[in-house]
Structure 1
């Protein structure tokens, strides 16, 4: 194969071009199967130029993870508009999440599958992104719960587990939506809202489900959950 002729362009632009090609290749082929030759050819540059800009396959993959993680967190933060009621904030944030993962399926594959399964260094990058999103969702739910309960001292620990569960469900649903023809971001967000908001809405109203044997709970079809005051 002859040397690839490249046009002069700013380094930052060229680097993004390489990252675009790398994300596409890693997302489709997987980290282990992807080759620097393949990435260079797709980017329209020489392999030595890829190494010159991004040092190694490992550094290139890390750069891809960081770029895609930053783009996803920015999309979610921009989507959840703080002036909206709590359910609309969550809805708009989820819609932004599913819209982004649908528009960037290779980037989502890099984050949710490839990075998590090819070493601790890569997994740590994704874990940092996920922790940021969980913290953001925790604060969103916490603010709404404090306002609903008129309790400014409601503890973060009481809602952080809900945020973890919600983010985990969103991640799984994004995989499903991307693999299921015809599912839109709006449909995915609606599915998760229907699954999650009924419970969160009860939390906002101070109604808690309790396990059987703890003085309440749902232990038979049609049974109603016990209404309790918020746990302190």
Structure 2
């Protein structure tokens, strides 16, 4: 009778929360519907009734966590700000969200991508949306600097993929690494600090490219003609 007094939408979210935790800890194959039901405080038949099979449940978890991550990044971006501020605020939203929901991030980054279709396809679609967003920001920054030729056309998309890959790796590092706070208790680095680390890698390097400086074998930096800003 207790389960019937809880609205279905609320009960489903409780089941999904339990599923996220179980899939992140056990992995998709080892996770059991019995454990998910016990953690959610419901019977296993009720999990099947609401969310169908284990595969359907995993798909629903991926969809929910993907939508939540994309919404967090989008909401964090400062509209109308300069391209670097938009990228930094979006990165801060990304790192804050992955720190607040580490199990959801583990499901997306570690579990879903390693178990084939259709799970990997959902995560790839999420990544493509974020890459497109970063590509637009980098393209806008290149145009602001006068780089409307080779850099904007040939390298911006590749740089966007590199930024996202580095951000994903940095999120893993930030969620695992702990520092001691003033009380001596362990704490994770703040999202703004992690975003600053990412910007120091991505934006400073991009600025050198816009100045037409390129790395060459031997460690030398060579300038390819006038800077973008001088075009």
Give the TM-score of the pair, scaled to structure 1.
0.86
Question: Is residue 2:38 matched to residue 1:41?
Answer: yes
Offset of residue 196 of structure 1:
1.4
Q: Which has more strand, going by share of residues?
A: 2
Match of 2:97 in 1: 100
Offset of residue 153 of structure 1:
11
Offset of residue 157 of structure 1:
4.5
Among residues 190, 196, 202, which one is paired with 2:196 in the alignment? Answer: 190
1:75-90 map, 5 Å:
75-90=72-87
Name the CA shift for 1:164/1:150 in 2 (closer, same or farther; >3 Å). Answer: closer
Match of 1:199 in 2: 205
Offset of residue 154 of structure 1:
7.6
Match of 2:185 in 1: none
- Kept in 2, the 8 Å contact 1:91–1:189? The answer is yes
The worse-fitting range, judged by mean Cα deviation, of 192-201 and 59-68 is 192-201
Structure 1 portions without partners, runs of 5+: 213-218
Match of 1:114 in 2: 111
Name the CA shift for 1:151/1:91 in 2 (closer, same or farther; >3 Å). Answer: same
- Kept in 1, the 8 Å contact 2:18–2:39? The answer is yes
Offset of residue 43 of structure 1:
1.1
Offset of residue 85 of structure 1:
1.5
Give the TM-score of the pair, scaled to structure 2.
0.86
Number of corresponding residues: 218
- Kept in 1, the 8 Å contact 2:213–2:221? The answer is no
Cα distance between partner residues in 1 of 2:110 and 2:165 = 14
Cα distance between partner residues in 1 of 2:221 and 2:27 = 48
Structure 2 portions without partners, runs of 5+: 180-188
Cα distance between partner residues in 2 of 1:6 and 1:84 = 48
Match of 2:51 in 1: 54
Question: Is residue 2:140 matched to residue 1:134?
Answer: no
| Residues 122-171 of structure 1 deviation map (CA, whole Å, 9 limit, x = unaligned) | 11111111111101110111112112217499855530100000000000
- Kept in 2, the 8 Å contact 1:25–1:34? The answer is yes
- Kept in 1, the 8 Å contact 2:216–2:222? The answer is no
SS for the counterpart of 1:209 is strand
